[in-house]
A and B are shown apart, each in its own frame.
Chain A
Amino acid sequence: MASETTTPNNGINNSDVPVIIDGVRTPFLRSNGAFSNFMAYDLGRLAISGLMGKTGLSPKEVDQVIYGIVVPDPSTPNIARECMLGAGLSDSTPAHTVSMACITSNMAATTAADQIRLGKCKTAVIGGVDHMSDPPIRVSRNLRQALIRLQKAKSPAQVFGQIRKLSFKDLMPQVPSITEFSNGLTMGQGCERMAMAMGATRAESDEFAARSHQLAFKAQKEGVYEGDIIPIKVPPKFALVDQDNGPRGDTTVESLSKLRPAFDKKFGIVTAGSASFLTDGASAVLMMGKKHAEKLNYQPLAILKDYVFKAGDPKDEMLLGPALAIPDLLAQNNLTTADIDVWEIHEAFAAQVVCFFKAFQDKNFMKNRLGHDQTFGELPLEKINIYGGSLSLGHPFAATGGRLLTTASKRLQKENAKYAVVAGCAAGGHGSAILLENPNL
């Protein structure tokens, strides 16, 4: 075919297998805590410089930085660039910012993996940051327009004319809402709709939320995350922050059952206790080509073997992403759920995860929605998010994927397992599933 002969073959000879070398993150803190005075840029650069410091990699080795943010600060539109420069990486390394809601750094990782496969890149730093203590608060559209016109006003009369057009309401600042642009639903409302449709109960939801907190609390006590968390000393006092402050050991089904629904006050099942909370944090992951890693004497934790991104109806399937993406990922790699020993699934809402479990075992859903003839079997809860998840550790949107990839990669090594699946749902009805393989097995 013509396209085959004309497609340039640039760099394809350098094709390599993408691997994860190491990953780090800042502690994840509930918003408006110790990180409030930082910018998102600060957390991002600290995660990246922490990764560089931990791995001892020379900055000149990094070919590409792909970094994400979901709620961007207007002063750093390409935050990837500012973070990596601030972290002391080389001026000559290009950096771009990606955004795909809660699966932003999943997208960063798979983009880097493709570049490595294509031989366009040998070493990449990926990750993401969100800083919900300082969301960009805007002035109203009318006021914005008036301000722009005022710059051109020449006479006091013109100035007055512009000001007169404004009403008191126009002076109110606007806090960004976390709603779908296409349908105006908040995440919580979307989750309630889905829970209703799939028949998830309040008890199931609370049970999963309590599990997340207890596992995270235990992991924290056992120091599971110690190597991954970069201890941050916050200027100007340089007080040490070296732990997540999300996990609550005293969270039980009983204590959760007392909370009132947060989104659908009458019939809802999602409460503040079973939803992920606003979080400040950043993650960074070092990826390389496998051959290149050997050359530089780095031991890979995991091969990024394959991935699937899917999307559905942004209204009714808003948070069903993993159920959309995982079946295709398994099918195209001839795997079943039994082959996967490590699962790291993003927990936006406890009810959302419950719905995902239900959909996954729903023959009807599998056949009619996804076109798979069989279900892939029941998911083994004991292999899923065994050190807690976004419900308890927190969810700085763009950073979560980096955390999941790091945790899954390390679990592969620790548990001597062959395969891991990292999956997440995201606004817009998106789903991501990534297959990791242990390079040592």
Chain B
Amino acid sequence: MSLPNLKYFNLSVKDNVLIIAFDDPEEKVNTLNLKMTSEFHQIMDIIDNDDNIKATVFTSGKADNFIVGADIKMIKEFKTKEDVVKTSKEGHELFKRIEKHKKPSVAAINGPCLGGGLEVALSCHYRLASDSSKTILGLPEVMLGLLPGGGGTQRLPKLIGIQKALDMMLTGKNIKPAKAKKMGLVDDVVCPESLEKIAVQVAQKLASGTMKIKRWKAKGKDKVLEDNFAGRALVFNQAKSMVLKKTGGLYPAPLKILEAVKAGVNSGAKKGYEAEADLFGDLAMTRESKSLISLFEGQTSLKKNRYGSPENKPDWIGVIGGGLMGSGISLVNIQKGIKTRLKDLSQESLGKSEKYVWGALNKRVKRRAMSSFERDKVFSSLTTQTDWSVFEKCPLVIEAVFEDLSLKQHILEEFEKIAPEDCVFASNTSALPIKQIAAVSKRPENVLGMHYFSPVEKMPLLEIIVTDKTSDRAASLAVEMGMKQGKTVIVVNDGPGFYTTRILAPLTDEAAIIALEGTDLHHINNIMKDFGFPVGPITLCDEVGLDVAMHIAKDLKKALGERICSAPSELIDDLVKNNMNGRKSGKGFFLYNETKSSNPLTKIFKGSGKEINPAALKIVRENRIELKGPQCSDEELQKRIAYRMINESALCLQEKIIKNPVDGDIGAVFGLGFPPTFGGPFRYLDLIGAQSFLNDMKKFEDRYGERFKVAKIIEDYAKENKKFHD
């Protein structure tokens, strides 16, 4: 029998089993694409017609991935809902041919098996996964504002039960092989070396009927909930209320996933698949999905070091200052296998840092995400010390001491006394100008800023700041290490507040002004949460710390003028004067309760901060300002606050603080929580149009003055009707 030579598949036959290996010759990883469809059908025809083939194995021709999902480019190219629905239905047809075939099929999975990849596997009669650390299974479509449109919403609940299926689809989480076997997502787990061999054996046994498949069945509580209409209604209602609570109703995808699953389990397969295709079509056309996809692509594009890979990969990284930031940086370093030397003034304070780092690792041990031995091993990459010994072996040293210019300068000078000429010195600061820190340096070409966000181990963004003197070599090393730490790295030019701090300032400024105009503090928070921010701006001030905000506001005002901080400074001055510094002091605009903290580096004030601090409210009232113009609608308030941030972002692009709109969007979303459903300030401008933005800003400028003066670049784009993104 002769097998055709196909572009996207390698075919071979072993002991009457057809082995179909996905292998996209143009990519390092396999994705599902329309281009494959005709070849796929051709293969199914062979299986239909060739009597010598008794069973099939679906696997991958790549060494370390199965199929990572559908091709994003394909999804972006869909122009109409109908296109999407048609493609989804074609997928259904194809996968049905596998599922309904009387010749059994086995999916042999090694490496990521995600989205459409898992949907292929779900169509097979048996799933065999390798126990490689690279093997993960999941349906992450929800993270791109989509749903699994290849039958995933229908087949998964049948296989593993509604509750577990919903959990997977609503969170998009990755499942490791052992867990996958336990929950019934795969039938067995074997070592990668024997994967194909055993897959062929299983296929033969299934074909000859000598092997029966044991499948998950609802038992106990699950049976009560999932085996009848009333129980299922309860499950769906609970899932829905949880989704609404978590997303604030801002993301349509989770609700549509629920709808598709519900249609299938309550009204049968035909209705279910139809609903899935239809809802998939709806979602693919939403702004939310388009924004999330653009963010995903932006993040992917930032995985490449624009400065090229540095020649020498460092053995050690030095960190100076074992506070919350320094400890967090040390933690992400050692978790990614970067040996770290942490320097602080005393062994006692280093003990606190060690406790913080060890505690974070130990949490993973408790969750069984790592063994205690692995914890020890990772923890051993951290060396703590009070002197400068061996720092000369660190090609990169990150200083994370208190935000004080002269202190940072002093440390830089001390470091340069012992450092070889090519050591790079990075300052972790949210606003201190890198040029000023570097002013004391003998080798300013080696000095740059690395602005981490707190808590370092959770926040995805790293903002690297280069001055006009910083060498590309230094930038390359910093970017490389940032990426190795697992951060999304943007590189910005030095300037007051860099990028993220600078665009945050006008946002909180406008929120403060609106508060001084007499708007309820909760109301300000709520409307901005409705707009899509994860945290309201007033609460954000409390989180950042009002003392910190005060210093930044003063510096920015000095550098950039009234425009950036127009609120009367008495408000924040009075709050800080009365030790109302925000969460860290137990009270800011809101009140927080002190709790016993497991975190050795911070006193933790818990509580939702739902109660307004009466003393703060008194200060707000004392400094009340007149509302100019008519009473604002909620939408106008949202715009006033958000637009000042967006306008400042545009100014940063205009002044070349940021290099391009992608960096601007990524920085605002991942650093400051700009609503991901809008994809960032620049995508927002594209969405509503520069002209419409300009019109609103003109109106606000007339009413409130200078601070709403629109950036010239937006005027230009409006004139030319241009978009920031292609």
B352 touches A238 (CB 8 A): yes
> Scoring A residues 173 to 207 as 1 if CB is less than 8 Å from chain B, else 0, what string do you get?
00000000000000000000000000000000000
Is A238 in contact with B347, judged by CB distance below 8 angstroms? no
| Shortest Cβ gap from B364 to chain A (Å) | 14
**Interface residue B409 (Cβ < 8 Å from any Cβ of A):** no
Contacts A45-B376, A53-B383, A86-B377 given; indicate if A240 touches B351 (C-beta within 8 A).
yes
Most buried by A among B347, B359, B376, B383: B376
Contacts A53-B383, A56-B316, A56-B393 given; does A240 touch B376 at CB 8 Å: no
Q: How far is the CA of A237 from the CA of B600 in the complex (A)?
A: 9
Chain A interface mostly helix, strand, loop or mixed? mixed
Question: Known contacts A53-B383, A87-B380: does B355 contact A240 (CB below 8 Å)?
Answer: no
Query: Contacts of B362 on A, CB cut-off 8 Å?
Result: 235-236
A240 and B347 in contact (CB under 8 A), knowing A56-B390, A56-B393?
A: yes
* B262: A residues at CB distance < 8 A: none
Beta-carbon contacts under 8 Å, A275-317 to B: none
Q: Mark A227-240, 1 if CB is under 8 A from B, else 0.
A: 00001010111111
Beta-carbon contacts under 8 Å, B373-420 to A: 373, 376-377, 380-381, 383, 385, 389-390, 393
Asked whether any CB of chain A lies closer than 8 Å to the CB of B655, the reply is: no
CB atoms of B377 and A233 under 8 A apart: no
Interface check A264, CB cutoff 8 A: no
Contact assessment for B355 and A85 in the assembled complex, using a CB-CB cutoff below 8 Å: no
B350 interfacial by beta-carbon distance below 8 Å: yes
Q: Which residues of A contact B51 (CB under 8 A)?
A: none
Q: Which residue of A lies closest to B348 (CB)?
A: A240
Contact, CB under 8 Å: A233 / B315: no
Q: Check A58 for interface membership: any CB of B closer than 8 A.
A: yes
Contacts of A141 in B (CB 8 A): none
- Give the Cβ gap from A76 to chain B, nearest Cβ, in Å: 11
In the complex, what distance in Å separates the CA atom of A87 from the CA atom of B380?
5
B354 touches A54 (CB 8 A): no
Residues of B within 8 A of A58 (CB): 315
Q: Which residues of A contact B600 (CB under 8 A)?
A: 238
Given the known interface contacts A54-B389, A56-B390, A86-B373, the answer about A238 and B380 at a Cβ–Cβ threshold of 8 Å is no
Shortest Cβ distance from residue B637 to the other chain A in the assembled complex, whole angstroms = 47
With a cutoff of 8 Å between Cβ atoms, the chain A residues found around residue B381 in the complex are 88
8 Å CB contacts to B: which residues of A334-356?
Answer: none
User: A49 in the interface, Cβ–Cβ < 8 Å?
Assistant: yes
Chain B interface residue number, banded: 20 to 34
Q: Does A242 contact B (CB under 8 A)?
A: yes
Tally the A-B contacts, defined by beta carbons under 8 Å: 58
Contact A242 B377 (CB under 8 A): no
Q: Given the known A-B contacts A53-B341, A56-B390, A233-B354, are A88 and B380 also in contact in the complex, defined by CB atoms under 8 Å?
A: yes
In the docked arrangement, what's the CA distance between A141 and B393, Å?
A: 55
**Complex alpha-carbon distance, A82 and B362, angstroms:** 19
Contacts of B377 in A (CB 8 A): 85-88
Q: Is the CB of A86 within 8 A of B355?
A: no
Q: How far is the CA of A88 from the CA of B333 in the complex (A)?
A: 14
B258 smallest CB distance to A (angstroms): 42
Interfacial chain B residues near A54, Cβ < 8 Å? 383, 389-390
Interface residue B704 (Cβ < 8 Å from any Cβ of A): no
Instruction: Map CB proximity to A onto B619-648 as digits: 1 under 8 Å, 0 otherwise.
Output: 000000000000000000000000000000
Residues 210-247 of A contacting B (Cβ, < 8 Å): 231, 233, 235-240, 242
CB-nearest residue of chain A relative to B385? A53
Q: Is B236 interfacial (CB-CB < 8 Å)?
A: no
B351-373 Cβ-contact flags toward A at 8 Å (1 or 0): 11011001100100000000001
* Contact of A235 with B358 in the complex, beta carbons under 8 Å: yes
B373–A231 touching, CB < 8 Å: no
Q: Note all chain A residues with C-beta closer than 8 A to B376.
A: 42, 45, 86
Q: Tell me which residues across on chain B come within 8 A of A88, comparing CB atoms.
A: 339, 377, 380-381
Q: A45-B380, A53-B383, A58-B315 are in contact. Are A238 and B355 (CB under 8 A)?
A: yes
- Please tell me if the beta carbons of B355 and A233 are within 8 angstroms of each other in the complex: yes
Give the distance to chain B from A347, nearest Cβ to Cβ, in Å.
29
Given the complex of chains A and B, what is the CA–CA distance between A236 and B375 in angstroms? Answer: 13
Digitize A62-101: 1 where CB-to-B-CB distance is under 8 Å, 0 elsewhere.
Answer: 0000000000000000000010011110000000000000
A237 B355 Cβ-Cβ under 8 A: yes
Question: Which residues of chain B have C-beta atoms less than 8 A from A242's C-beta?
Answer: 347
Given contacts A88-B377, A88-B381, A238-B600, contact A231 B355 (CB under 8 A): no
The residue in chain B whose Cβ has the minimal distance to the Cβ of A85 is: B377
- B339 contacts across to A, CB distance below 8 A: 88
* Interface core residue of A52, A58, A87, A233 (most chain B CB under 10 Å): A233
Q: Could you tell me the distance between the alpha carbons of A45 and B372 in the complex, rounded to whole angstroms?
A: 13
Contacts of A82 in B (CB 8 A): 373
Q: How long is the Cα–Cα vector from A86 to B355 in the complex, in angstroms?
A: 18
Do A49 and B348 touch (CB < 8 A)? no
Max count, chain B CB within 10 A of own CB: residue among A45, A49, A86, A238: A238
Least Cβ–Cβ distance between B500 and chain A, in angstroms:
33
* Whole-angstrom CA separation of A225 from B355 in the bound complex: 25
CB distance from B382 to the nearest CB of A (A): 8
Closest B residue, CB atoms, query A48: B380
Cross-chain contact of B358 among A52, A87, A231, A238 (Cβ < 8 A):
A238
Query: Which residues of B sit under 8 angstroms from A238, Cβ to Cβ?
Result: 351-352, 354-355, 358, 600
Complex Cα distance A82/B376, Å?
A: 11
Q: Which of B317-357 contact A (CB under 8 A)?
A: 339, 341, 347-348, 350-352, 354-355
0 or 1 for each of B11-25: is its CB under 8 Å from A? (1 = yes):
000000000000000
Give Cα distance in the complex from A287 to B199, angstroms. 51
User: Nearest Cβ distance between residue B337 and chain A, in whole angstroms?
Assistant: 9
In the assembled complex, the Cα of A130 lies from the Cα of B574 at a distance in Å of 60
Residues in B with CB closer than 8 Å to A42 are: 376
Docked Cα-Cα span, A55 to B359, in Å, equals 26
B389 partner residues in chain A, CB cutoff 8 A: 54, 56
Minimum Cβ distance to chain A for residue B356 (Å) = 9
Output the least CB separation between A344 and chain B (Å): 25
Q: Which residue of B lies closest to A82 (CB)?
A: B373
How long is the Cα–Cα vector from A340 to B331 in the complex, in angstroms? 48
**Which of B57-80 touch A at CB < 8 Å?**
none
Q: CA separation between A86 and B389, bound complex, in Å?
A: 23
When distances are taken between beta carbons in the complex, the residues of chain A under 8 Å from B385 are 53
Name the interface residues of B696-721: CB closer than 8 Å to any CB of A: none
Q: Mark A24-63, 1 if CB is under 8 A from B, else 0.
A: 0000000000000000001001000100111110100000
* A49→B381 CA distance, assembly (Å): 8
List, in ascending order, chain A residues with CB within 8 A of B380's CB. 45, 49, 52, 86-88
How far in angstroms is the closest Cβ of chain A from B378?
Answer: 8
Smallest Cβ-Cβ distance to B378: which chain A residue: A88
A124 to B373, CA, bound (A): 23
Bound Cα distance A408, B660 (Å) = 62
Task: Report 28 cross-chain contacts, Cβ distance below 8 Å, ordered by A residue.
Answer: A42-B376, A49-B380, A49-B383, A52-B380, A53-B383, A53-B390, A54-B389, A56-B316, A58-B315, A85-B373, A86-B373, A86-B377, A87-B380, A88-B377, A88-B381, A233-B347, A233-B350, A235-B358, A236-B355, A236-B362, A238-B351, A238-B352, A238-B355, A238-B358, A238-B600, A239-B351, A240-B347, A240-B351
By a beta-carbon cutoff of 8 Å, the part of chain A in contact with chain B is 42, 45, 49, 52-56, 58, 82, 85-88, 231, 233, 235-240, 242
Given A233-B351, A233-B355, A237-B355; 5 other pairs, CB 8 A cutoff: A49-B383, A55-B390, A56-B389, A58-B315, A235-B355
Closest 6 CB pairs of A and B: A53-B383, A56-B390, A88-B380, A238-B355, A49-B380, A233-B351
